[in-house]
Structure formats: C-alpha cells, structure tokens
Amino acid sequence: MQKSVIVPVAEGFEEIELVSIVDILRRCGIKVTLSALDSRLEVRGAHEITIKAQCTIDVIKPKEFDAIALAGGYKGMQNMCKSQELRSLAHALRAQGALIAAICAAPIALKSFGLLQGAFTCYPSCKDEVAQTKPARESMQDSSAHFVDSHIVLDSHILTAQGPANAMPFALSLAELLYTSHVQSFQRESTFYQNAQNFVSQIVKEVALDLLYAK
C-alpha cells in the first residue's frame, strides 16, 4: 500500500528543507500532500521562493496519512506555532501512531504543541529556545525532551534533524521508516547517508518497475 505524508507549508519556510522532503519522498513512491496553513495556496519561503500548496490544512483527514513532516525556517516555525489547525492535526496523527518528523527550527513547534518527548535534535542555535518553549496547555508539558548533538535522531515515532545540510538524509530516513515500521530509535551522522541512499534507490527501482509493468 502506498504511504502518504502531509507537509505543511508555512510562510517563511526553509526552501531547501521543504523541497528536499517533497522531492525525495515522491521519488520513493510516497504520496506527499502540501498543505497551506491558511486560505492562500501560494506560500513564500524564507528566501523569496514561492511554493503552491495543493490544499488548505482544514480539509486534511488525519486517517489518510502515515506521517507529517515539518520543514524549518524560523519565521515558518513561528507561523506553525500559531496554527491551531496544525496543532490539532499533529495530535490526531500522533494518537493514531503516525510518524512525526521535524527539521531545523521546526522541533520548537513540536514542543509548543506538547509533542516533543525523549531525545531530539534541531538547529543548534535553537536548542535553548526549544528548552524554554512551553506547550499551549501546561498539562501537556513533558520534561523528558532532551537535545542530542547528532545530525538525525529518532526517538519512538518522532524524527528530528539539525538543518538544511541534513535535509536529504532526513527525508531518506523518513522514507526508510515508512517502509520499515519496526525501527524504534537511532542517532545518525552523515555516514548513514550512503546506506539510506542504497535503500531508497532499491525502492525507487521497484516503484519504476511497477509503473513500467502497469502500462
């Protein structure tokens, strides 16, 4: 069965991260839906690049998705933190066991939603802000979240990464996890990239063959 990932598009998103996530996942045969946080489908990134979303977040049905992936960008993160619809969606996905992925500054949004627990990583200069960020509802605060200085970290169903330089390995890791559900935790450095690339290359070949024989 084809896997599905929702990628919110917030004004001020980091372009390298968002495009890498979408491109890599789609090359792996994963369905990716770009969702705007408000009524404007055309959303401008941190470096003046505009991406057109496919829909608005209010029409998203959580049960149709296996994961959510949040790109960074500081302004983008701030806009995600303000979105009640995104917060509700993230909680619904978490409750059904979906993967939650965030890169760069985006783990701050997860913390504000009350979803960041256990080991995580983020853009290094953002780690103190993650620690200082409190969820909207105090009862949801979890002091177990702790920063790990690693490029990519998985703890339970939450995948985090440090920044634009890690965007492709981050997306490859998410693709691997969607196809390998028994993996529970890891910390990875750049040496992981080749192994992940080999794994996803095989998936891409299988998808290509399926498309070829379907014609």
Q: What DSSP line would sit under 148-159, residue for residue?
A: --SSEEEETTEE
C-alpha pair distances (Å), 103 with each of 74, 165, 210: 11, 10, 31
Residues 77-114: tens digit of each pLDDT: 999 999 999 999 999 999 999 999 999 999 999 999 99
For residue 26, being part of any structural domain is answered with yes
Structurally, the chain folds into a number of domains equal to 1
At 156, the pLDDT band (50, 70, 90 cuts) reads: confident
For residue 159, being part of any structural domain is answered with yes
For residue 199, being part of any structural domain is answered with no
CATH number for 42: 3.40.50.880
User: Counting Cβ atoms within 10 Å, is residue 98 exposed (0-12), middle (13-18) or buried (19+)?
Assistant: buried
* Average pLDDT value for the chain: 86
Q: What is the pTM of this model?
A: 0.83
Per-residue pLDDT, 136: 66
For residue 103, being part of any structural domain is answered with yes
* Mean local confidence (pLDDT), 183-205: 52
> Greater confidence, 150 or 201?
150
Taking the alpha carbons at both ends of the chain, their separation in whole angstroms is 19
Q: Which residue bears the tokens 């890891």?
A: 186
Question: CA 61, CA 46: separation in Å to the nearest integer?
Answer: 28
Question: CA 36, CA 59: separation in Å to the nearest integer?
Answer: 10
Q: Considering only CA atoms, give the Rg of the chain.
A: 16
Per-residue pLDDT, 215: 47
> Where in the sequence is the domain holding 73, given as residue range(s)?
4-186
* Spatial CB neighbours of 166, under 8 Å, sequence gap ≥ 6: 103, 151, 152, 190
For residue 213, being part of any structural domain is answered with no
pLDDT for residue 54 is more than 70: yes
For residue 164, being part of any structural domain is answered with yes
For residue 118, being part of any structural domain is answered with yes
pLDDT for residue 41 is more than 50: yes
Question: CA 129, CA 107: separation in Å to the nearest integer?
Answer: 10
Per-residue pLDDT, 139: 36
For residue 78, being part of any structural domain is answered with yes
